[in-house]
């Protein structure tokens, strides 16, 4: 049981509906009060209806994604296709596509530019553009950044979903693309999940999900310029105390920048769904 009450509220602009082949409805919720994804999924499923609409479209999937501290977004998808009760199913070799562009809260230590400075001796070049810098360290700030996630659902025959293929998928999830995939350059995509469902006709539907981050080029930190990093690499800025003006004020200045590889890379052709 959660120590705090979890609040689940459907968003005002919630209901996304797809008609025709693969018809579905997605309800979107805000969830507050916990950072435990298991508790949040339980609360989302408890508060969302089991079926949707006059034709009793069944709940096919539920997912949650963190937006901020104690603030998550939940999505509940309803579809007859996933249960094998309606026509219009994907046939082996066919696929469907979905995407989501949203925002996520992250902490940064440097913005795009310091656009103004006020006070005696203050300059936009103080601290090399670091945010909240003092002799004790760099505080940084929270900001909302855009995120892009997309998914593809593909149909397979039962014979294609072998143990070897499932092990390959398990190895690919949590890795970054080492070459262009779906038009996205190497280093920009992180495979965040694959889920499979065997239908009543024996065929399978597999949903593949990726998240994108743009590569960074030509970044500068104080006097350090030309910093490049792939989308899912991490930039670490080392600073030291330094006098920032002629008045003896001590702040921080960047003295080194390190780019860390966090995720393993993989050839996404292993997904078996093409790369272009």
Q: How far apart are CA 201 and CA 65, in angstroms?
A: 32
Do 155 and 276 fall within a single domain?
A: yes
Do 119 and 177 fall within a single domain?
A: yes
Say whether pLDDT at 81 is over 70.
Answer: no
Do 267 and 197 fall within a single domain?
A: yes
Which CA distances in Å does 240 have to 111, 123, 140, 254?
A: 19, 19, 15, 7
The pLDDT tens digits of the residues spanning 122-180 come to 777 777 788 877 777 788 888 888 889 999 999 999 999 999 999 999 999 999 999 99
pLDDT the model gives residue 40 = 94
What domain range includes position 192?
A: 90-276
Do 123 and 135 fall within a single domain?
A: yes
Q: Comparing 50-64, 99-113, 228-242, which segment has the lowest mean pLDDT?
A: 99-113
Domain boundary among 86, 111, 139: 86
Do 50 and 107 fall within a single domain?
A: no
Do 40 and 136 fall within a single domain?
A: no
Q: How far apart are CA 275 and CA 181, in angstroms?
A: 5
Do 64 and 160 fall within a single domain?
A: no
pLDDT the model gives residue 59 = 87
pLDDT the model gives residue 94 = 80
Average pLDDT along the chain: 86
Do 102 and 236 fall within a single domain?
A: yes
Do 136 and 245 fall within a single domain?
A: yes
pLDDT grade for 86, boundaries at 50, 70 and 90: very low
Do 246 and 132 fall within a single domain?
A: yes
The pLDDT tens digits of the residues spanning 35-65 come to 999 999 999 999 999 899 887 888 888 999 9
CA-based diameter of the chain, in Å?
Answer: 78
Average pLDDT in the 24-31 region?
A: 92
Do 115 and 223 fall within a single domain?
A: yes
Which CA distances in Å does 134 have to 6, 67, 69, 139?
A: 38, 29, 26, 8
Domain boundary among 40, 59, 86: 86
Do 106 and 229 fall within a single domain?
A: yes
Question: How many domains does one find in the chain?
Answer: 2
Domain boundary among 36, 59, 86: 86
């Amino acid at each position: 049981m959660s120590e705090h009450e979890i609040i689940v509220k459907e968003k005002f602009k919630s209901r996304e509906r797809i008609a025709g082949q693969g018809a579905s409805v997605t309800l979107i919720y805000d969830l507050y009060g916990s950072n435990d994804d298991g508790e949040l999924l339980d609360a989302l499923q408890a508060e969302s209806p089991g079926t949707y609409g006059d034709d009793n479209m069944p709940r096919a999937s539920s997912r949650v994604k963190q937006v901020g501290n104690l603030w998550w977004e939940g999505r509940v998808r309803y579809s007859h296709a996933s249960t094998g009760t309606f026509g219009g199913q994907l046939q082996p070799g066919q696929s469907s596509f979905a995407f989501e562009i949203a925002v996520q809260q992250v902490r940064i230590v440097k913005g795009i530019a310091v656009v103004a400075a006020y006070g005696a001796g203050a300059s936009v070049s103080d601290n090399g553009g670091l945010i909240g810098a003092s002799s004790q360290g760099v505080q940084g700030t929270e900001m909302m950044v855009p995120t892009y996630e997309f998914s593809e659902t593909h149909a397979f025959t039962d014979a294609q979903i072998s143990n070897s293929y499932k092990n390959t998928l398990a190895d690919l999830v949590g890795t970054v693309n080492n070459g262009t995939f779906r038009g996205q350059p190497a280093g920009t995509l992180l495979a965040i999940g694959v889920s499979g469902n065997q239908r009543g006709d024996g065929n399978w539907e597999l949903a593949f999900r990726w998240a994108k981050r743009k590569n960074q080029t030509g970044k500068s930190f104080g006097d350090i310029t030309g910093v490049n990093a792939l989308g899912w690499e991490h930039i670490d800025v080392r600073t030291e105390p330094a006098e920032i003006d002629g008045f003896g004020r001590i702040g921080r200045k960047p003295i080194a920048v390190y780019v860390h590889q966090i995720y393993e890379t993989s050839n996404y052709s292993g997904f078996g769904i093409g790369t272009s």
